[in-house]
Chains A and B, each alone.
Chain A
Amino acid sequence: MEAIQTIELTKHYRSSAFKRNNIPALEKVSISVEEGEIFGLLGPNGAGKTTFVKLILSIVHPTSGTATVLGYPLGKRVLKEHCGYLPENHRYPGFLNALDTLLLFGRLNNLQKEDLTSKAFSLLELVGLKDWAKVKTKKYSKGMLQRLGLAQALINDPKLLFLDEPTDGVDPIGRKEIRDLLLNLKAQGTTIFLNSHLLSEVEMICDRVTILNKGKVVRTGTIAELTTQKLAYIIQLSSPLTQVSREQLQQTNLPIEYQDSNLIVSVHDKSDLNTIIDILRASGIGIESMNQQKTSLEDYFMQIMKGENSL
């Protein structure tokens, strides 16, 4: 079942209260997020990532299109009872301490006070702020506020968690802890929707991603689908190439690189690959292994963005 299903969701902002010209933020975005997965929304600044989340949570109103979230149409109050949200650049009242902040947001989530205090303490322990529970948040560092934000987003045991740059300002150890926490939540069945610029992190924890650019969906797929270059292979050889085999490979007119004991080949189809294997076999060169070449999500993202922006 889909946790989020959007159909041609569109948002145009008005440039000012008195002007009619619209600024498109999202254009007919159709995204489907399965329950229990970690879904990443990627894109450069201004791509519409935050607007998308705000539309889902009714913080902004759609210009057109529809969506269902956890089976509810947009705008239903009950929908928000099952959602947690960590916005980018979130701000908490500086006169409250971490515990009071969690109690406030717990109460706003209609949670009963009796269960709330113990829940708040356990969340503060989970995000490593237990010793800071009674310290006013105005004394917190950026990383600590981010941890508090995460605890706030989890106060209602959400089925669907929206995180906008959750590791922003957090040190590497903290990042690892947050990643582990998210994977743990996923194991418990929570659907996680992640907006992030940190592509390496997205690659580590997301099951599927959508890349947005200028408000439009550019690509959607699993990390493996996006990072695997389908027609590029790495062939590990058990012995070096002979002069004859080199010449024969050159005659195929395929782009072939030779690095250490590896051949990196880009083929048009599988018959090209078979041709290369035949040449190697005929030359008596053994094949240790053969794998599809993978690229990093970051490289893939950059490649896509270059292609998009050059259009």
Chain B
Amino acid sequence: MFRFTVVEAMRRGTLVFYFAISNIVLLLLALGISHPVNEPDIITIFGKPLARLSQIGLNVVDFLLIQLHSLSIFWIMIFGMFGVAGLIPSMLEKGTIDLFLSKPLARAELLMARALGAVSGIALNLIYFFLGVWLIFGLKVGVWHSGFLSSIIYVVYAFVCFFSVVTFVGLITKSAGFTIMLAFVFSIISWGLEVRENGLYKIWDNVVYHRFLDALYYLTPQLNAMLENSTRVIGKLPYIPNAPDFTFMPFVYSFFSTCLLYLLSIWYFSRQDY
């Protein structure tokens, strides 16, 4: 089931589109980026030097890698995650779920294989792109950026956590459309909860409301915080004042909320009639 779901995920049109974009970006980088031998502090893209960035105190490589990292996450969110969000509801369709449940397979096994298969479809695409970028920068610029390479782990972890929400919503609604919509809403809520002290708190100055937002923040995977932290392992951008250092805490909190959501999903799935 796991392998089948990975193949199904990879064949989703949106993920194929993401793969095509990844290849175009990698091709442009491979062809365009270079590191003139006589000017070691300058990186050029299609002949245009990025020296100006280094003049204002930016590490050019870190800056480029952070931008590529953020771009990749944005694209995978739009084309990848929302593409595979329908995999849980599609498994529950009449005529499909009957076949799967009639096989000697525990419901928990079936659900987890499906969820992890879907996330693996995303992960394989991300790993492909990140490894490609890392190799291009290593080979053409001479910078083998270990931080960028290790950020893959955090990004994939964040998507595994995020998919626990998608799985739960998919099981309850049984609708691909609703699941995609609610996954999108959750990604916005996650950002809102992350900056709640400067945003949502100000809507209503009430302690109960504030504690409710805090509880929601800790009880759901901290997608935004995890993705932000995954960029911090690459480097710091000096134009963001007081940027916090990398912390494992969102990953730790999200581990528990993710486990809780997957357990709830398994419990719900095991009790349902199809």
Contact = CB atoms under 8 A, between A and B. Distances in A.
The judgment on whether A and B are partners is: yes
Interface of A: 13, 54, 57-61, 77-81, 83, 85, 87-93, 95, 104-105, 108-110, 152, 162
A110 B105 CA distance: 9
B104 A109 contact: yes
Interface stretch (B89-97, B160-168, B187-195): B89-97
Given A59-B274, A81-B104, A110-B104, A104 B95 contact: no
B104 A104 contact: no
Nearest to A91: B95
The 7 closest A-B pairs by CB, nearest first: A60-B273, A91-B95, A85-B102, A87-B98, A108-B103, A80-B104, A89-B95
Contact of A59 (B93, B104, B105, B273): B273
A57 B1 contact: no
Contacts of A78: 104
Given A57-B101, A108-B1, A95 B273 contact: no
A152 B273 contact: no
Interface string B98-141: 11111111100000000000000000000000000000000000
B271 interface: yes
A58 B269 CA distance: 13
B117 to A, nearest CB: 12
A95 B105 CA distance: 23
A80 B109 CA distance: 15
Nearest to B270: A61
A109 B99 CA distance: 11
Contacts of B95: 87-91
Contacts of B102: 57, 59, 80, 83, 85, 87, 162
Q: State the majority secondary structure of interface residues on B.
A: loop
Contact of A80 (B4, B11, B96, B103): B103
B130 to A, nearest CB: 27
B174 to A, nearest CB: 12
Nearest to A106: B103
A57 B273 CA distance: 11
A157 to B, nearest CB: 14
A87 B102 CA distance: 9
Interface centre among B96, B99, B102, B105 (most CB of A within 10 A): B102
Contacts of B197: none
Interface centre among B1, B94, B100, B104 (most CB of A within 10 A): B104
Nearest to B102: A85
A59 B274 CA distance: 6
A105 B99 contact: yes
Contacts of B105: 77, 80, 108
Contacts of A85: 98-99, 102
A77 B104 contact: yes
A152 B98 CA distance: 13
